[in-house]
Structure 1
Amino acid sequence: MDSNNLTVQQFNNEPVMSKRVAIIGAGIAGLACAYELQKAGHEVVVYEKNADVGGRMATRVKDGLEFNPGATFLSRHYHTLRDYSKEFGIEWAPLDAKRTHRVVRDGKAYPLGLKNPLEVLKLSVLSMSSRLRFLWFLLKLALQKVPGDFFDLSTTPDELDFDNASHHLREQVGDEVVDYIADPFTATLHFYLSDSVSTAMMLTLLKSMVGNSEFCAEYPQGGVQAIPNALAKTLIVIKNANVVSVTPAQAGVQVNVGGQFELFDAVVFACPAPAAKAMLAHPTQAQTELLASVSYGSTITLAFRVPVDLFADSTNCIYVPYVENKIISSCIFEKSKGPALVRDGKTLFNVYLHDQSAKELMGKSDAEVLATVLPELEKVCPELRDLLHKTALCTRGFELRNCPSPWPGGGWEGVDCRNTAKNLPHPSPPLARGGNKSEFRNSKTRETCDCIAPVHFHDIERWPHAMPKYLHGYVTKVKQFVQDRQGENGIYFIGDYMNSPWTEGAAQSGKRVAERIAHDLRSTTYDLQTESRS
């Protein structure tokens, strides 16, 4: 498209004068916004700083296994993402219906399920008195009309944003429910605790989740990144883009990309708030206050290749209460996703860190992260602990031994143990160096052989801005901005931190703001120009 010429197209049987819009960020929010604007007849350019699209909806294929370091599944009630998937022919499959969840208390695993309020009575991790208090709370909530949409928290009335979830729940149902249900549930999904969640978010989430048959995990063919990839193929996406600054100007909004200047009618920030804050020149007071109010929970995702029969039962997710472990927030056994996550008898076991521990480890090396995580992992997953502590013997009598640096640079070395009278479990785990097989080495003869090790370190991803925190008062602040200040000087903000939780909320945010931009642009009359400066 020649960006120097305005074109008139038809959209919804109305003439549309094509305008130029820049989207900063090719996550699901930015791609959805760009896709809808392009359908409305506008010229859209998406700038992405990374080499690939998707953001938290990323999928990496390594050693034949799909690793989703961010969003690891979708839900049947993600209607916007489901509609895009149907449009592009991406099929979703439900996770294994037999899968179960567990929560850890005092080093023991307890079953965890909450498909309907009455299942609270089966929560053996809680005392009976706590179960009854929790059941009464959920039954009252089920009978109440909780206004608002979880995926668009700006639709909730201000009076729902009256407290943080932790404080409110401790008053209503007690400390035990918060420590062993609310906090681990929040930390599994958001990596931080329920004191960083407002009552507006908590109440709308519980209302949308409990008893909702559509609240059911599913997995798209090709991984969660299949949807962003499909959207990106229809758009102009400039990857590895260095957006230096975005400056409102008299004739539009100027974007400096690596020293080259482009003029747009509107610019949409679809990136984390700190990145938007760094790029936006001359923000309004409202924009400054909005971006300054955003805070994020962090996590580090680690993936290990483990045997598909690691669990004797159908365990899928391990919820780890913060009162039990300050490092690990949850673990997910990926076998339930089907063939894409199973190869050569192995599947992935993903480990997610709590917000605070992730922040402390964010700048550490992979080896330092593993050195911290592995001992904690043994505490929360007995099956993995037993596997890690088994003496690994290959068919030629080589034993797997811990080297000082487990990963990377050293790995695990084998020594000849055929003359050992008794093979005792090692205090450190037999973690493989990499690949599907590990090298075992006879320390005397230097003879080597290949042997399949029980556990392999697979991959790691650091997420400094994993999930925004919806603190008490934050939902109301963003709601006011959306109503009164969104679009000032041609600048728009979208994504989960704009009261749009999770990937579905982010996609809805992009689609919703695209409609607003299209409306706003129809009322503008200034000429469109493109200028370049060195």
Structure 2
Amino acid sequence: MKAIVVGGGLAGLGAAYRLHKNGWEVTVLEADEEVGGRAKMIERNGYSIPTGATQVSTGYHDYIALCKELGVDDDFVAGSNMVSLIRDGKLYEIDGTKPLTVALTGALSLRSKYLIARSMMEMRAMEPKLSPLDMSANHAVDDGRTAKDFAMERMNQQSYDVLVDPLMRACTLNRGDAVSALEWFSALSTLGGVKFITLRGGVQRLSHLLAAKVDTRVNARVTDVKRTTGGVEVNFTQDGVPQSLTADACVLATRLPEAVEMSEEMAEVAKPLASRIEYNRGFLVHLGYSVKPKTRSVGVMVPTVENPYIALIWLEHNKGEDDITPPGHGLFTVYFDEAALDDVKSGSDEEYGKIAADYLEKLYPELKGHQDMMAVSRWNLAIPHPTPGHYRAVNEMKGRIDPAGPIQLAGDYFTTTGQNSAIHWGQRAADNIIKHIGRRNAPAESLAELKA
């Protein structure tokens, strides 16, 4: 049995490896010059910099299970679990592994703490039980309200400003008044009680390990995927040369707009969601300093009222890895807010870098005068923007997908975006193919074994 996987990110590579383990001959076609999708690394002045996805947690069960299959699960290192909230310019550290310890922070009043704790209890009482891997199962909560609407109904202004809005910005790169109310519960279920961990070698290591297991072709841009009487035909250009492959099945593991352009069949299935889905851009400024601030926090969640431009700051040197910076140095990733990207007058890397450095050095004055590296990462289609009604549209699309079809969709747009959800939905697409296409085309003796 042969399969073609379009897309060399974690969704595609997760699907390819699952198929490969089940005896399929797999070819992965990746348009970029290297695999990894939005989980890539670059090297600058002795710093190893994640240019997109940066963090893994103990809640990433599919990610961890895949690493175990590959024999590298002992290569996880633990980092700090502390994150910082901001109120009136002051930083307050909380332990991310213990959500209820928010009750101990000075960033919130007693009233706000009570209302937030009540919202956490509401999440735990949800039916069906909330899962970050399938948020659309709780689509009834996605009733047109934004996270801000929900916070102002069920909590208060301070709760929204100090926690809800910055948490939405951290997870979606957009503000709480622009995302679905369900995204608030999604963030709580994704982050609550987990510990931050990191795979030695960086976020791109898993992609490289998976790609080495199958026939992976880079600089291969797919133009067309269509069903045939014998399976599928995939047309693509590699290094400018038109080529074509046929197979029994195909997984489209790209962002949704790209998938519907490639396949007319999937365009019909995904049309309602594809017509409304938006992607937040990713603009990341990476800053290196020859000193580190005295903080245990691995992340700083920034409210819109504190800084309209900057949504999140990640302290990469507190993730537990020893070799991502020169000794004694600090590495920071500053994520910009989608809503403010067009407000930067020149749009130049230098201007964004100055905005990022000025605010970072305002929070940590000891950094001033010690910057020795600046790099910028830009993603035109970074992560799906979960507007109100987004998860309802996802749920409807899931109902139109034929699990027995030879073309399957995979990607983190099925749920809360992330490396773990990408792997999960990639493997799910592969499982559909193995179950339906593989069994349908299995020789008689294999069918007898299956029945036995």
TM-score normalised over the length of structure 2: 0.87
The residue correspondences of 1:301-312 to structure 2 (distance < 5 A) are 301-309=284-292, 311-312=293-294
For structure 2, the residue ranges without an aligned partner over 5 or more in a row are 443-452
Q: 1:122 — aligned with what?
A: 104
Is the 1:26–1:55 Cα contact (8 Å) retained in structure 2? Answer: yes
The amino acid across from 1:288 in the alignment is K
State yes or no: 1:371 paired with 2:287. no
The one of 57, 62, 65 equivalent to 2:39 is: 57
* Aligned-partner Cα distance in 1 for 2:402–2:416: 15
Q: 1:6 — aligned with what?
A: none
Q: 2:446 — aligned with what?
A: none
Deviation per residue, 1:159-179 (Å, 9 max, x gap): 333343321122101122122
| CA shift in 2, pair 1:462/1:148, >3 Å | same
Q: 1:235 — aligned with what?
A: 214
Q: 1:431 — aligned with what?
A: none
The amino acid across from 1:469 in the alignment is H
* Aligned-partner Cα distance in 2 for 1:38–1:498: 23
Larger Rg: 1
Q: 2:450 — aligned with what?
A: none
The amino acid across from 1:221 in the alignment is R
The amino acid across from 1:280 in the alignment is S
State yes or no: 1:457 paired with 2:373. yes
Is the 1:496–1:502 Cα contact (8 Å) retained in structure 2? Answer: yes
Aligned residues: 436
Q: 1:343 — aligned with what?
A: 326
Is the 1:152–1:501 Cα contact (8 Å) retained in structure 2? Answer: no
The residue correspondences of 1:121-270 to structure 2 (distance < 5 A) are 121-142=103-124, 147-154=129-136, 156-162=137-143, 163-207=145-189, 209-210=191-192, 212=193, 215-258=194-237, 259-270=242-253
Identity of aligned residues (%): 24
Cα deviation, residue 257, structure 1 = 1.2
The amino acid across from 1:172 in the alignment is R
* Aligned-partner Cα distance in 1 for 2:116–2:183: 18
SS in 2 for 1:313: coil
The amino acid across from 1:228 in the alignment is S
Q: 1:412 — aligned with what?
A: none
The one of 514, 519, 528 equivalent to 2:430 is: 514
Indicate the structure with greater helix content. Answer: 2
Cα deviation, residue 115, structure 1 = 3.8
* Aligned-partner Cα distance in 2 for 1:512–1:206: 24
Deviation per residue, 1:273-316 (Å, 9 max, x gap): 2222332346553332232232112221121211243x133233
Cα deviation, residue 37, structure 1 = 1.1
For structure 1, the residue ranges without an aligned partner over 5 or more in a row are 1-17, 391-453, 527-534
Q: 2:87 — aligned with what?
A: 105
Aligned-pair RMSD on alpha carbons?
Answer: 2.8
| CA shift in 2, pair 1:169/1:29, >3 Å | same
| CA shift in 2, pair 1:95/1:360, >3 Å | farther
State yes or no: 1:466 paired with 2:449. no
Question: Structure 1 stretch 227-236 or stretch 484-493: which is displaced more?
Answer: 484-493
* Aligned-partner Cα distance in 2 for 1:176–1:465: 32
Question: Structure 1 stretch 274-283 or stretch 263-272: which is displaced more?
Answer: 274-283
The residue correspondences of 1:2-17 to structure 2 (distance < 5 A) are none
Q: 2:418 — aligned with what?
A: 502
Is the 2:17–2:214 Cα contact (8 Å) retained in structure 1? Answer: yes
Cα deviation, residue 25, structure 1 = 0.6
| CA shift in 2, pair 1:252/1:269, >3 Å | same
* Aligned-partner Cα distance in 1 for 2:5–2:39: 17
Cα deviation, residue 191, structure 1 = 0.8
The residue correspondences of 1:14-33 to structure 2 (distance < 5 A) are 18=1, 20-33=2-15
* Aligned-partner Cα distance in 1 for 2:361–2:166: 15
The amino acid across from 2:311 in the alignment is S
SS in 2 for 1:379: helix
* Aligned-partner Cα distance in 1 for 2:416–2:91: 33
State yes or no: 1:88 paired with 2:75. no
SS in 1 for 2:323: helix
Question: Structure 1 stretch 143-152 or stretch 334-343: which is displaced more?
Answer: 143-152
